[in-house]
């Protein structure tokens, strides 16, 4: 519960990375790794719901739909990786990338892409679906991509926040169905006891977020990427 509350507080400042931060602890406890992903998804869905509700009036639903199309294609592959592949192989590769990228971006001026195309958004959505199913972390690459568009902090979160929420709900339902079919049970209702601590941390993180400027928000994003990358290398 302490790990979940702390992870929720830190991740809510930037709007993502709850699963990466929380997973750094949960994956080292003596619990089933699939159950750990289910716990992180449940708590993250609760966190994201609260944050999306706060941003509901500025969400770009048309732009979001493009990313979700890609996410729908990537999610089944991510679930397959979680259930059948060696977790250490892909989590270490993801961790190294996020760590190096976040550190690099802290040392240079923000990178802004002047050319945009829906195909690129779909591609990023596919990657988000894969990481969402495999490690319960759909927001990493979508967050990076939104930061490259030169948007202010509210517009960035108004896109990647609902993307994370919708992909995690889809991943949780799919995982519950598939895991329940193979093991005889779905998500443990006892995991819901972790949600209150997660929401408490989210409330604290949102207070910090409101005090950030766009520049400070960009730095917070990069710091969260570094923390996320390090958590997957532990």
Contact partners, residue 132, CB within 8 Å, separation at least 6: 71, 74, 75, 78, 138, 139, 164, 167, 168, 170, 171
The pLDDT of residue 103 is 92
Listed in sequence order, the residues at least 6 apart from 76 whose beta carbon sits closer than 8 Å to its beta carbon are 133, 174
- Domain range enclosing 201: 2-233
Q: Which two tokens stand for residue 44?
A: 């993250």
Q: What angle do CA 210, 215, 218 make, to 5 degrees?
A: 85
pLDDT in tens, 156-189: 999 999 999 999 889 878 877 776 544 444 556 6
Contact yes or no for 234/28 (Cβ under 8 A): yes
User: Mean pLDDT, to the nearest integer, of 42-53?
Assistant: 88
Domain count, the chain: 1
In sequence order, what are the residues at sequence separation of 6 or more whose Cβ sits closer than 8 angstroms to the Cβ of residue 12? 18, 47, 51, 201, 202, 203, 204, 205, 206, 208, 209
Determine if the pTM surpasses 0.85. no
Q: How far apart are CA 189 and CA 191, in angstroms?
A: 5
What does the pLDDT read at residue 97?
Answer: 92
Q: In this model, does residue 22 exceed pLDDT 60?
A: yes
Average pLDDT over residues 34-52: 83
For the record, the structure tokens of 79 come out as 């679930």
């Amino acid at each position: 519960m302490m790990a979940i509350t702390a992870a929720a507080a830190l991740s809510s400042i930037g709007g993502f990375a709850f699963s990466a931060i929380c997973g750094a602890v949960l994956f080292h406890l003596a619990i089933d790794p699939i159950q750990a992903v289910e716990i992180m998804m449940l708590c993250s869905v609760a966190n994201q719901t609260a944050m999306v509700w706060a941003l509901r009036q500025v969400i770009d639903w048309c732009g979001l739909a493009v990313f979700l199309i890609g996410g729908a294609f990537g999610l089944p592959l991510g679930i397959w990786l979680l259930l059948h592949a060696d977790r250490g192989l892909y989590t270490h590769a993801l961790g190294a990338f996020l760590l190096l990228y976040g550190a690099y971006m802290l040392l240079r001026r923000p990178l802004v892409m002047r050319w945009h195309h829906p195909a690129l958004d779909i591609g990023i959505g596919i990657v988000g679906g894969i990481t969402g199913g495999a490690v319960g972390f759909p927001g990493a690459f979508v967050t990076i991509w939104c930061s490259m568009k030169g948007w202010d902090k509210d517009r960035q979160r108004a896109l990647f926040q609902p993307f994370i929420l919708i992909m995690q709900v889809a991943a949780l339902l799919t995982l519950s169905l598939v895991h329940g079919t193979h093991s005889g049970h779905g998500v443990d209702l006892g995991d819901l006891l972790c949600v209150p601590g997660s929401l408490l941390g989210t409330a604290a993180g949102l207070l910090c977020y409101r005090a950030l400027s766009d520049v400070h928000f960009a730095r917070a994003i990069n710091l969260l990427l570094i923390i996320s990358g390090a958590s997957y290398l532990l």
